[in-house]
A and B are shown apart, each in its own frame.
Chain A
Amino acid sequence: MSLLDIRNVSKIYGELKALDNVSIRVDQGEWVAIMGPSGSGKSTMMNIIGCMDKPTKGQVFLDGIDIAKESSRRLTDIRRDKIGLIFQQFHMVNYLTAVENVMVSQYYHSMPDEAEALEALERVGVRERARHLPSQLSGGEQQRVCVARALINHPELILADEPTGNLDETNENIVLDLFRQLHREGTTLIVVTHDPEVAEAAQRTIVLEHGRLVREVVNEHFVE
């Protein structure tokens, strides 16, 4: 069974169809990239999958539950239990240190555990920056903290919206390597990107244009 089964989803803002009758399935453990020009509906799609927004029409089954029908309180629970989010703008809580940012995420999921949070920072290579505030971290470091924060609760699904959009090449590669590790561990990944190199790291690429799914490409160069 697919982890994610999107059926005939539309998102309509007034006249504008941000998503127009899109159907996508993503299997457990799969790594999918979503590409498309600016304004094609990629973020809208991610927000719906991430339980932060609801479609105007259609069904979205996540682990067999139609999240298009759930209450906002249930959506918060689902997001907390199953999903890890990474954004282009990093989005750390600015008055909390790196390790505290990770621990807040642990708290909402289960229980804060500092040792585990530090391990996660170790894994993304910013262990020695654990006690720093976001303002004291570089963009690459912030994004790595966000990756640690997304993976700390071992989510089934990681959603990353342009995760490397604001990173230099070195940091981009670090983040991609982390995604590879997560993929090997069985995490399902959906990554929105402009960057063909980032897309090529995935197993499959879905292309959106004007809110419609126009193409699906299986990546032949994918290395396990």
Chain B
Amino acid sequence: MTPRKLPMRNILRHPGRTASLTVLVAFLALSLFSGSVIVMSLMSGLRSLENRLGADLIVVPATSRGKIDPEKIYLQGTTGYYYMSASKLDEVRAMEGVVQASGQVFLASLRADCCSMPIQVIGFDPATDFTIRPWIGERMKTDLGKMEVAAGSRVNAGVNETIRIYGQPCLVAARLDESGTGLDTAVYCTMETMAELLSAAREMNHELKIDGDPAGVVSAIYVKTHPGEADRLAGEIRQTRSPKVTVIQTRTVTSDVERSLGGVSHTIAVLIICVWLLDLVLLTAAFLLLGGERRREFAVLRSLGMSRRDLAYLALKEAALISFFGGMNGIFLGLLILLPFSGLIEQALGLPYLRPGWPTMLALCAASLAAVCAAGPGAALLSARKLSRADIGTIMREGT
């Protein structure tokens, strides 16, 4: 028995007190940790989205069954069935102020053998594309061949596996990095492959109405403009007829998102600070109250020759043990909630959500633990300071 063991002994012999302090600390760690992970995830979600979709304008048919929320296409990658003639692409490409224009074709498979939910198939033109290729390029050196697809991170198919889309076998040539959006549930192929799939789809699904040659349609046109020309061009494209189109200006969407992201981050940050302060106050109060209860214990130890420094050490070690244990629990709980439910959180927030990589996650764990471990022992030290000043003689004489 040495005083080095006193803190642990005290902790174990007072299970009720220990449990409530641990819960308090765990709650603090949980809120700090999960709050910062969510904020970071939202930020990296938006950043990745901006990087991936470097388009200034997105043009879709105005009659696209009236069900498209333009923001959703952009933010969550929700596509659907809607097609217009590829001549629209040529028309847009020829406009003044357009740097680059590239078409994409969307197809939703009702059921694919790889997936529980319908997957999106997105066809793009490697020759002109500037939104998807850079992303695929990170994972795949050669270009996609005919009947080859690149699979989003949430599509359940490995490289070199074959998946069937409307009965057509497609080889998974690459798997993509996570983007934190609905784009992760899509597979990507060239226009050539897409034409095959569209033909197959048209035969199996009579709802799907494509006029003319499946190789001659696009669902959306991605446009990169000269700087400052986006507004004017958007207006000009809106004027065009046959078909009429909807033009999404990504800057507007992005700044909207940034605004609501800023709002969400701000709210979370304020909450984190409030929770931290509240916890600090509660912890200090708890340690001071405990200190009162423990006046006698400390006085006894001091009367036996314990120095003030020993007393501070005792209080610190106890608080550190509780903080560390509670903090670890809180963070563990945070991981348990955050890891499996990323998808749900993304849906609930309606914003792109991309969980930071493991190095960042570990850093956040460490930072939350450090913040928690600073609060507890800080509070304990405060009460120890007060107690070590107390007059031992008086306490011992009072017998309380």
Contact = CB atoms under 8 A, between A and B. Distances in A.
Nearest to A150: B304
A50 B393 contact: yes
B300 interface: yes
Interface in A63-104: 72-73, 76-77, 79-80, 85, 87-89, 91-96, 99-100, 103-104
B207 interface: no
Q: Give the residue among A80, A89, A149 with the most B Cβ atoms within 10 A.
A: A89
B1 interface: yes
Nearest to A108: B305
A53 B391 contact: yes
B94 interface: no
Contact of A72 (B6, B304, B308, B399): B308
Given A89-B399, A104-B3, A53 B393 contact: yes
Contact of A87 (B2, B10, B391, B399): B399
A91 B308 contact: no
A95 B9 CA distance: 7
B303 interface: yes
Interface residues of B, number: 27
A89 B307 contact: no
Contacts of B302: 52, 76
Contacts of B277: none
Q: Give the residue among A44, A46, A95, A133 with the most B Cβ atoms within 10 A.
A: A95
A91 B391 contact: no
Contact of B307 (A76, A105, A109): A76
Interface in B1-50: 1-3, 6, 9-10, 13-14
Contacts of B133: none
B392 interface: yes
Contacts of B300: 91-93
Q: Give the residue among A96, A100, A112 with the most B Cβ atoms within 10 A.
A: A96
B200 interface: no
Interface in A23-42: none
Contacts of A161: 396-397
A91 B303 contact: yes
A52 B393 contact: yes
B138 interface: no
A114 interface: yes
A103 B1 contact: yes
Given A100-B1, A103-B1, A104-B1, A93 B391 contact: no
A47 interface: yes
A91 B299 CA distance: 9
Dominant secondary structure at the A interface: helix
A100 B303 CA distance: 16
B307 to A, nearest CB: 5
Given A43-B397, A50-B393, A103-B1, A95 B303 contact: no
Interface in B264-315: 296-297, 299-308
B393 A104 contact: no
Contacts of A104: 1, 3, 6, 301, 304
Contact of A52 (B14, B307, B396): B396
Contacts of A53: 391, 393
Interface in A130-184: 133, 149, 161
A109 B391 contact: no
Interface string B386-400: 000001111011010
A108 B9 contact: no
Contact of B303 (A79, A103, A112): A79
Nearest to A46: B393
A47 to B, nearest CB: 3
Nearest to A78: B305
B13 A95 contact: yes
Contacts of B396: 47, 52, 85, 87, 89, 91, 161
A105 B2 CA distance: 9
Contact of A76 (B10, B299, B305, B399): B305
A88 B397 CA distance: 8
Nearest to B399: A89
Contacts of A94: 297
| In the A-B complex, the 7 residue pairs with the closest CB atoms | A80-B305, A47-B393, A89-B399, A108-B305, A95-B13, A52-B393, A103-B1
17 contacts: A47-B392, A50-B393, A52-B391, A76-B302, A76-B307, A85-B303, A85-B304, A91-B303, A95-B9, A95-B13, A96-B1, A100-B1, A104-B304, A107-B2, A107-B3, A112-B2, A114-B1
Interface of A: 43-44, 46-47, 50, 52-53, 72-73, 76-77, 79-80, 85, 87-89, 91-96, 99-100, 103-105, 107-109, 112, 114, 133, 149, 161
Interface of B: 1-3, 6, 9-10, 13-14, 296-297, 299-308, 391-394, 396-397, 399
Given A53-B391, A100-B9, 4 more contacts: A87-B399, A104-B1, A107-B2, A107-B3
